[in-house]
Amino acid sequence: MEGVNEVVEDNIDDYAMSEDEIASLRSSKVVMLFVIRSKISSFSLKKLSELKAKIGLDLFNKIMFGKSVDSNVDDNPTGSIQTKKVGGTHRPREESSVRPPSRLRKIKGLELRKPKNVDPRFADSSGEFDQIAFHRDYSFIEDLRRKDIQELQNAYKQQKIKGSNPKKLERIKKNLIRLRNQQKAFQNQKLKEDVLAELRQTNIERMNSGQKPIYLNNNELKEKFLTRKNQQKQQHKELTCQKWNNFLDNSQWDCILLTARNKKQKQIFNQQLKNLQLKERNFCKEYFVLADEPEGVKIGSGGATFNALLFFKQYFGNNIKNTRLLLLHNGGLSQRIPHVALIGKAFMLMPDGKTLLEHKLIIYKKLLNYFFNFGGFLFVTSADVLEYFPNNFFISNISKEIDLLLIAHQSTLDIATQHGVFVMNDEKIEKILQKPTINKLRKTLGAILPPNEFIQFETALTDSCYFIGPKIIEDLIKIRKENGEIICELCCYRDFLCPIELFKWQKILWNEFNKLNPKIISLGINSFFHFGTVGELLSHFFIENSPFRMNFLHNNKEIGNIVNCLIENPEKISQKSFVEWCKLNSNCNVEDNCILSGVIYEEKISICIKSGMYVCTFPIGGDEEKEELKYVTIIFHINDNLKKIITSKMIYIEGEEEKEYSLWNCPLFSAYSTPSLSFLNTIESINYGLNNLNSLLSIAQILEKANVNKMLIERNKLINRKNLIN
């Protein structure tokens, strides 16, 4: 208080106080403060500011208010409402919700107001707001919104394919929902405006004809709006049904054509296609089988493609430009998988009981949806492969008037050495290598794709199937007509896409395809499954979590290693062996990694099929009345190369001159009266050697003499018996 006393003493004349009064003030602080306050109250503002500056804010507040600012903060640091207990510690606490008023007065008219953003279009000076005119003038916003929705949908699909951050996907999804809600609100508002406009027009017509106008209250207008909305929903439902019918129609191929090696194979394919009921199952509108011509000449898949194009032109005429055609090359010998050499690889059974062709057509239904608006085209593929198109697969930046669209896959370098390899440069095809060595792949810049965060090993972009547009179809048909029949072997991959030795037909194809700028779409890793060897079959079928099982068989509960069979004791069949079209009693054991097809065993002698054996039984003869029906069982190891050429010195056959043989054309197997005896004696010949060397047959001869009709009849009987038992 010394500073205050000094100020008071300095201004003692203004106070007009005696010495006794000053002494009494100094003796009692409370009284002193009271007197000082009363005296200071007469100070002018200038004097007060000088006093405040001299003694400081803290002391000044203590004089004026009894407490300093700091003590107020210390007593109530949170600034919360103070509570007070009255009448003892155990009485209820009295609390007040009234906050202390501000020390600053609020003067009306001088309050600070937040600035408001005013759109001049909606200001009172611009006139009265007309909602109908506003929606009419700004209807282009709906077009922009529709475009934004489409772009967000594409972005969502792209980010999902890349495996982007889930938060980013969620953000895109929220924006999509927001825009769709805005779109829905706009449509509802437009519907209300249409109802009002219709009512207004009706009233104008009624008044012009001398009738009273119709006046509706809000409830009646709402009811009329809901009625119109329900009508729109019904129309949308009918339109959806119509689109679905069109979708079913558009998810069908206009024509499926399978190629066959000869007329006999053509007959076999037609019989099996009839059993599959492709037209009844909405896979296609028409299907045909076309045998290679000229007969006896090996024209390859390229020659078969030219013949197929001529057939399509004759069948569809000028409408070929608007038809969607599927060409399946299925005319090979299947030397590595003899049990499908007769029936064709397209009709090979899968572990779920469906054929390879059925799996292809199921996945191609999805493909047709992607090319819904692409018009006509020809899709060329092979019957012994299965391409996987993921659920999030979509096509963008591809012209609807396509000339050539190539489907590629990321494959390991070992697989790449057996296929064509695309070398890319800035998303354009720079070069196509046909069955290159690994050394050539490494020397070719851009041929090998380095590992990344998703694929931990080196890969290459390999070929599989492709689309040909209407223009190229017409050009190829014209080339075929101008140059006559094909009497040489052509490949629809090597010679169409990358001719090597430029003889006549390859020069023609080079001139046609070299001027194109093809587009390419990669389906990524684990999207190409080849069924060309026994080893590939077993790896696809039985390796746990194999890409094939994960993509095609993961939801099927009927998957098994025993398909269309009657087995007395299934426990004796290894879970890692594939058995189809067989009837085996309990005396037959099958070890791991075996394939059995068409085998019947009903003998009492116990027999064991050792690990890694391939066994198949064929009926031969019996086509003519006097010809006896017999059965031949072939057997070899799954790692044997049936195409490999060896000399007869390595295989001794009495009475035969020295010749070159392969396991395909070497006479090794005997025919027997029943399939059971054929199976038993063939197994014994492996253990003890051949007994009858005079009537041995090769695999090629067996397939030539095979009675396919008898084989298909026995298979149908087997299915019927199995259904009766189940």
> What is the band of 16 on the pLDDT scale with cuts at 50, 70, 90?
very low
**Which residue is listed with tokens 């190629």?**
259
- CA 595, CA 611: separation in Å to the nearest integer? 10
**672 Cα distance to chain centroid:** 51
Contacts of residue 414, Cβ cutoff 8 Å, sequence gap at least 6: 438
- CA 476, CA 98: separation in Å to the nearest integer? 93
> Rounded to the nearest 10 degrees, how much is the dihedral formed by the CA atoms of 238, 242, 248, 251?
-120
- ∠ CA 59-61-62, rounded to 5°: 60
- What is the 8-class DSSP label of residue 112? -
The SS3 assignment for 579 reads strand
- CA 50, CA 45: separation in Å to the nearest integer? 9
> What is the band of 288 on the pLDDT scale with cuts at 50, 70, 90?
very high
Report the Cα–Cα distance between both ends of the chain, in Å, rounded: 111
Neighbour-count burial of 268, counting CB atoms closer than 10 A to its CB (0-12 exposed, 13-18 middle, 19+ buried): buried
pLDDT tens digit sequence for 583-618:
999 999 999 999 999 999 998 889 999 999 999 999
Mean pLDDT of the chain: 80
Higher-pLDDT residue of 183 and 505 is 183
What pLDDT shows up at residue 239? 74
Instruction: Indicate if the pLDDT at residue 454 is higher than 80.
Output: no
Bridge partners (DSSP) listed for residue 327: 257, 380
Could you list the beta-strand ranges (E) of 526-644.
Answer: 528-530, 562-563, 566-567, 578-580, 583-584, 588-590, 595-597, 600-601, 607-609, 613-620, 630-637
Whether the model clears a pTM of 0.85, i.e. scores above it, the answer is no
CB 575, CB 555: distance < 8 Å? no
Bridge partners (DSSP) listed for residue 412: 459
Q: Which region among 73-87, 536-550, 656-670, 712-726 has the lowest average model confidence (pLDDT)?
A: 73-87
Q: Which token pair is 494?
A: 């090597």
- CA 404, CA 513: separation in Å to the nearest integer? 9
Instruction: Indicate if the pLDDT at residue 67 is higher than 60.
Output: no
> What is the band of 517 on the pLDDT scale with cuts at 50, 70, 90?
low
Share of the chain above pLDDT 70, in %: 79
User: What's the CATH fold of domain 251-408+463-542?
Assistant: Spore Coat Polysaccharide Biosynthesis Protein SpsA; Chain A (3.90.550)
* In the chain, domain spans: 2-75, 143-215, 251-408+463-542, 561-725
H or E element, residue 386:
strand 385-387
If you count them, how many residues does the chain have? Answer: 726
